[in-house]
Amino acid sequence: MKKFCLLWCLILTLSQDFASGEPSKSNLWNDTNIDKLKSELLKNYDRFARPENHNSVTNLSVGITVIHMDLIESKGILETHAWLKLRWNDGKFKWDPKAYDNITMIHMAADEVWQPDLTVYNSAEATLVDHFAKTNKLIYSDGSVLWVPTSKFETYCTMNLKMWPFDEQNCEIKLGSWTYNAYQLNLFLDKEKPAETDHFHHVEWDLLKVTGERHEKYYSCCPEPYPDITFYLQFRRRSPMFKAIAVVPAAVIVFMTLTAFWLPPQSGEKLLLNGLACVIICILLVYFSQLLPIFSAGSPLIVTFYSNTLYLLCISFIISVIVINMSRNRKRSPVPKSIKSFFLDGFIGGIFGGKQGDTVADSQAEELKESEDHHIIQMTATSPKIHNEWIRLAIVIDRLAFVIYIIVFILMGFLHFV
């Protein structure tokens, strides 16, 4: 019974407080100066209406700081994580700091204040979504508004992989109002230069620079101009790992191809070296096809280098088969006079050891002539001199091909890697 009486007294006391309009001394909530200020500012405030008269313009300053990015090369899409820096003036948010305990700045939630309908024009997302996080806005006593939301953009990027893996990519993020024209919402670049490396970290890419430009465009639908702010991002690929994948095998293949020409003309290992080099190139080309996107603009130079090297290896196969055939099979007929005069007796023969008296060529010819391997050499009634001439011709062809291939590989190296 006592508990019921106490509860009834408490109810009567609270009802008298509410009826008189005076808060009870036990009330735990007291309005602060910020509460009063926000209540005054947001009174009759429409957060969906632009905070200017119809014939006045709202000036919006736009800046960016890139934090992280990912290039989805197979789709040609740049995924960017950034901080946007947006400044504008809201004339409805002005107060005298002296009347509110010298408060010059307050925080407001993102949904409490009007914000420009900034949109990514070159967005690669399926639908237009809100790209900006719901971070607080800073409101100053002079009516200026500062908003620095974290943002994520997926934009189309036209990639140029010609110099892969030493390539640089240039992508852009185009921001603009979706509904307001330049006479209603005017866009400007932020005065502060974008921070390029202070916050950016990536394992594969280095951010070289970020620049911004303001553009105006007239669309067929409307007579008014529509401004946009376009940020240009330049990246360079970090290529140490790709050197081991792409460049080192290229050097090994060139070395194997050239080494095959210095094997003895009757050596069947020529075909083995060329075949092994062909297998390596085919494996690498298949790997590149899985790693790199297929663009109509052209293939990377490193892929072109491997493709051209594969053609050269096919020619080297043919040369090796001809040389082995010349040196292993004894010929009944001598070397044709036109070929002999050009390759053996002429200037080329003097350089590459085709003339009689060249010690290296003579020793190789004698070793082959004295070989008794009947599975390799067909023993026929033919002059040893004729056979020696064919062996010398094979040696000259090998050495001449070696020099030509060196020149071709040097030219290809300058075209593809320099």
pLDDT(380) > 80: no
Residue matched to tokens 């290529």: 239
Provide mean pLDDT across the span 338-353: 59
pLDDT(394) > 60: yes
Q: What fold does the segment set 39-238 form as a domain?
A: Acetylcholine Binding Protein; Chain: A, (2.70.170)
Q: Domain residue spans in the chain?
A: 39-238, 241-417
pLDDT(28) > 50: no
Does the pTM surpass 0.85? The reply is no
pLDDT(3) > 70: no
What are 200-214's pLDDT values in tens digits? 777 788 888 888 999
Kindly indicate the confidence band of residue 144, based on its pLDDT and cuts at 50, 70 and 90. Answer: very high
Provide mean pLDDT across the span 192-197: 62
Q: pLDDT higher for 365 or 136? A: 136
Residue matched to tokens 């430009």: 213
Q: Which of 161, 146, 68 is nearest to 105 (CA)?
A: 146
Provide mean pLDDT across the span 350-367: 52
pLDDT score of 375: 40
Is the CB of residue 106 less than 8 Å from the CB of residue 161?
A: no
Provide mean pLDDT across the span 289-310: 80
Q: Degrees (nearest 5) of the Cα angle 201, 240, 253? A: 155
Provide mean pLDDT across the span 256-283: 88
What are 239-269's pLDDT values in tens digits? 777 778 888 888 889 999 998 888 888 888 8
pLDDT score of 27: 44
Beta bridge partner(s), residue 174: 230
pLDDT score of 191: 79
Distance CA 394, CA 329 (A): 12
Q: pLDDT higher for 155 or 364? A: 155
Kindly indicate the confidence band of residue 381, based on its pLDDT and cuts at 50, 70 and 90. Answer: very low
pLDDT score of 127: 66
Render 103-150 in DSSP notation, one character per residue.
--EEEE-GGGS----EEETTB-SSS----B----EEEETTSEEEE--E
Out of 188-192, 208-212, 405-409, pick the least confident.
188-192
Please give the mean pLDDT across all residues of the chain: 79
Distance CA 239, CA 17 (A): 76
What are 92-132's pLDDT values in tens digits? 888 888 888 888 899 998 888 898 988 898 888 766 667 78
pLDDT score of 5: 57
pLDDT(23) > 80: no
pLDDT score of 24: 45
Q: pLDDT higher for 343 or 26? A: 343
Kindly indicate the confidence band of residue 148, based on its pLDDT and cuts at 50, 70 and 90. Answer: very high
pLDDT(231) > 90: yes
pLDDT score of 374: 43
